[in-house]
């Protein structure tokens, strides 16, 4: 697809559309479902609830984490519906980026008056 910056703008635009129609205060799962609809409607390729396996001392463990959305095999999107983004939320996304060997992630908090206040872009350098 387009370069990473253009792709992140498209994802944020889709999130803004969802937020504009639904507003704040709903469950994270509702925003995920509606954002998936928006992304599909825009022809974007993505995976939902993608499991990240954990390797420890050369062994793959049964536990793991789930990425809310992986867009175009390159951008991880972690959705929240919380009062405010905390450092632990950013740490979670950075961990997902490291474990999946991805460079760019978006942390989207829908529980804000305006969606642009709930957007954080993080890079795994």
Q: CATH number of the domain that 101 lies in?
A: 3.40.1350
pLDDT, tens digit (0-9, with 9 covering 90-100), for 62-115 = 777 899 999 999 999 999 999 999 999 999 999 999 999 999 999 999 999 999
Q: What is the pTM of this model?
A: 0.92
Domain extent, residue 95, equals: 4-123
Number of structural domains found in the chain? 1
| Rounded Cα distance, 90 and 96, in Å | 10
Q: What one-character DSSP code corresponds to residue 97?
A: H
pLDDT, tens digit (0-9, with 9 covering 90-100), for 18-72 = 999 999 999 999 999 999 999 999 999 999 999 988 888 999 887 778 999 999 9
The pLDDT value recorded for residue 60 is: 87
Structure tokens at 108: 């989207």
């Amino acid at each position: 697809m387009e370069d990473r910056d253009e792709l992140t703008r498209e994802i944020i635009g889709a999130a803004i559309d969802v937020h504009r129609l639904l507003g704040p205060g709903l469950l994270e799962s509702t925003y995920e479902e509606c954002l998936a609809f928006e992304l599909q409607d825009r022809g974007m390729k993505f995976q939902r609830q993608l499991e990240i396996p954990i390797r420890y001392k050369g062994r793959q463990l049964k536990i793991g984490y789930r990425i809310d959305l992986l867009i175009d095999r390159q951008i991880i999107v972690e959705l929240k519906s919380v009062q405010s983004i905390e450092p632990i939320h950013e740490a979670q996304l950075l961990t997902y980026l490291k474990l999946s060997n991805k460079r760019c992630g978006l942390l989207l908090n829908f529980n804000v008056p305006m969606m642009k206040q709930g957007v954080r872009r993080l890079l795994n350098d």
